[in-house]
Structure 1
Amino acid sequence: MLTGHGLKGAGLYDWAWTDIQSDDAPDPEDTEGDTFILVVRQRRFTGGLSFYRRHSTRPVTLAGLVHIVCTRWRVEEDFQLV
């Protein structure tokens, strides 16, 4: 999936995700129905991996998670420019 162009060239990545339950998750009674997700991004040409842990209170799609990951990167780039 092409997710944009950055300092290292075209953002061609393969994405995967899985539900997780981490040791530091809040009390299960407080998070009933919530989803804890591990998203993995692999750069197609170098094989480099990035991992993102996410929490959602409603159902999400992989495309939605990819959008969030890419938006987060733009915010970090803006902070570096300041």
Structure 2
Amino acid sequence: MMINCRQATELMSKSDEKNLSVGEKFKLYIHLTFCRICKLFSRQNKLLIQKYKGLKPANESVSADFKKKVIERLNDKEEL
């Protein structure tokens, strides 16, 4: 019934992408109850996912003026 750390990590990753079955949730819950390392990993993983979801794609967060300046500087360097 008890799963190992590798299996727990796989379930944590799977849970980010889709819902786990009741049995998988139970196995993961039991494992995280007894394994401090996986519990810490789970917390850190959730924080990273939250931070990642809050990021904007690079093309939306950079202004057109900034892009223009970067291209101009790159072109100036090519002329050297």
Taking structure 1 as the reference length, what is the TM-score of the superposition?
0.31
Taking structure 2 as the reference length, what is the TM-score of the superposition?
0.32
Bigger helix fraction: 2
Bigger strand fraction: 1
